[in-house]
């Protein structure tokens, strides 16, 4: 490792250049650590490699503040990993390695901030732009704001497990696969879902003002079941456009249906003032609008299943583009008695 410390307080790494094999900078117990304007590069891609790790395993003492600011991290399986009390990643550029797991990962933490970063997964077909992993312990007060996530092959933003009282706002998520623009590999631009135990569901989230496009689906919220729904999510003011996937025949999962905003097993959901258009087709960099290769494209603007005490109000859905035998629905709900329109 370039820098590997079990604990550090009032410690700064600034304006350095590190070329390493497995781990660039690792501080398991950061207590006032700042990593700024530093370049960290992997010599060769290795599964499990990590560029910057601050606070993992997490530390929850008030003095465990750690910051990564203005860094460039290139070629790792995990670009930046943070956890603990009030860690921050701002103004960084992350270029994950070949088929890498994730650009930025947030572990169990309180009041983490991920803001103003660029994660470019397209160069090496990285899987996930940002993952908040609360499958085993809670994440509370996370703020993911004003980032750009490009080219992810699975999810632009993945919130899993007990992510609570958190905000995802003002981000641009473009899951374009430049090697195969007609058929996106990414399942969703933003995916919020249960993980770990069935009761570890996200709750009290705001997903607002994001621009999501060129994945199979735009924003998907998926609870654990009728008795373990996602609770109290407000998805407002988002723009979701040109998401598409094709199938031969009938879809068997939501991710086989071109969907702008999808919600399954949610309670207290508020979908309002969102703009959804161009679903069922992909807008290429060259400006052409193309459809997926398979024969059938099913296109939904907003799709709800088993959602209760929820509201869908003031959204604009337009220009849905089915193909072949695919069906189309502007707003579809399997539980209309439990949803206010």
Question: Token digits for 193?
Answer: 């879902």
Distance in angstroms (rounded) separating the CA atoms of residues 146 and 89:
12
Distance in angstroms (rounded) separating the CA atoms of residues 299 and 210:
21
**Residue 336: predicted pLDDT:** 67
Question: 212-246 pLDDT, tens per residue?
Answer: 999 999 999 999 998 999 999 999 999 999 999 99
Distance in angstroms (rounded) separating the CA atoms of residues 296 and 53:
44
Question: 12-30 pLDDT, tens per residue?
Answer: 999 999 999 999 999 888 8
Residue 169's contacts (CB-CB under 8 Å, 6 or more residues apart) are: 143, 144, 145, 146, 206, 207, 208, 209, 210
Which of 8-17, 67-76, 128-137, 194-203 has the least mean pLDDT?
Answer: 8-17
Distance in angstroms (rounded) separating the CA atoms of residues 118 and 144:
12
CB atoms near residue 301 (< 10 Å): 27
Residue 128 has pLDDT above 80, yes or no: yes
Q: Are 167 and 194 in contact (CB under 8 A)?
A: no
Whose tokens are 């996370």? That residue is 142
Residue 6 has pLDDT above 80, yes or no: no
More confident residue, 304 or 9: 304
Question: 68-127 pLDDT, tens per residue?
Answer: 999 999 999 999 999 988 999 999 999 999 999 999 999 999 999 999 999 999 999 999
Q: Are 162 and 136 in contact (CB under 8 A)?
A: no
Residue 282: CA count within 13 A, CB half-sphere: 27
**Residue 62: predicted pLDDT:** 44
Distance in angstroms (rounded) separating the CA atoms of residues 311 and 189:
22
CB atoms near residue 130 (< 10 Å): 30
Please give the average per-residue pLDDT across 170-179, as a whole number: 96
């Amino acid at each position: 490792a370039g820098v590997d410390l079990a604990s550090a307080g009032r410690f700064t790494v600034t304006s350095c250049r590190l070329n390493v094999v497995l781990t660039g900078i690792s501080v398991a117990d950061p207590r006032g650590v700042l990593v700024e304007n530093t370049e960290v590069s992997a010599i060769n891609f290795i599964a499990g490699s990590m560029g910057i790790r601050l606070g993992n395993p997490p530390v929850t003492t008030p003095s465990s503040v750690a910051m990564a600011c203005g860094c460039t991290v290139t070629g790792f399986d995990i670009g930046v990993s943070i956890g603990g009390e009030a860690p921050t990643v701002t103004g960084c550029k992350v270029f994950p390695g070949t088929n890498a797991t994730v650009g930025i990962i947030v572990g169990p933490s309180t009041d983490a901030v991920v803001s103003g970063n660029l994660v470019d997964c397209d160069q090496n077909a990285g899987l996930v732009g940002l993952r908040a992993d609360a499958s085993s312990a809670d994440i509370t007060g996370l703020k993911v704001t004003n980032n750009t996530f490009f080219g992810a092959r699975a999810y632009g933003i993945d919130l899993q497990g007990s992510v609570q009282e958190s905000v995802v706002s003002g981000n641009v998520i473009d899951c374009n696969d430049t090697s195969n623009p007609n058929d996106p590999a990414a399942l969703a631009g933003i995916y919020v879902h249960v993980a770990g135990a069935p009761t570890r569901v996200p709750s009290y989230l705001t997903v607002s003002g994001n621009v999501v496009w060129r994945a199979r689906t735009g924003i998907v919220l998926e609870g654990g079941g009728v008795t373990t729904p996602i609770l109290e999510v407000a998805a407002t003011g988002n723009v979701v456009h040109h998401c598409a996937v094709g199938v031969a025949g009938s879809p068997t999962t939501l991710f086989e249906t071109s969907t702008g905003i999808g919600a399954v097993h949610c309670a207290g959901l508020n979908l309002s003032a969102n703009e959804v258009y161009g679903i069922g087709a992909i807008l290429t960099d060259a400006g052409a609008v193309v459809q997926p290769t398979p024969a059938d494209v099913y296109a939904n603007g907003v799709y709800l299943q088993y959602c209760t005490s929820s509201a869908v109000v003031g959204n604009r859905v337009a220009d849905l583009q089915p193909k072949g035998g695919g069906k189309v629905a502007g707003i579809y709900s399997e539980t209309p008695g439990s949803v206010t329109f």
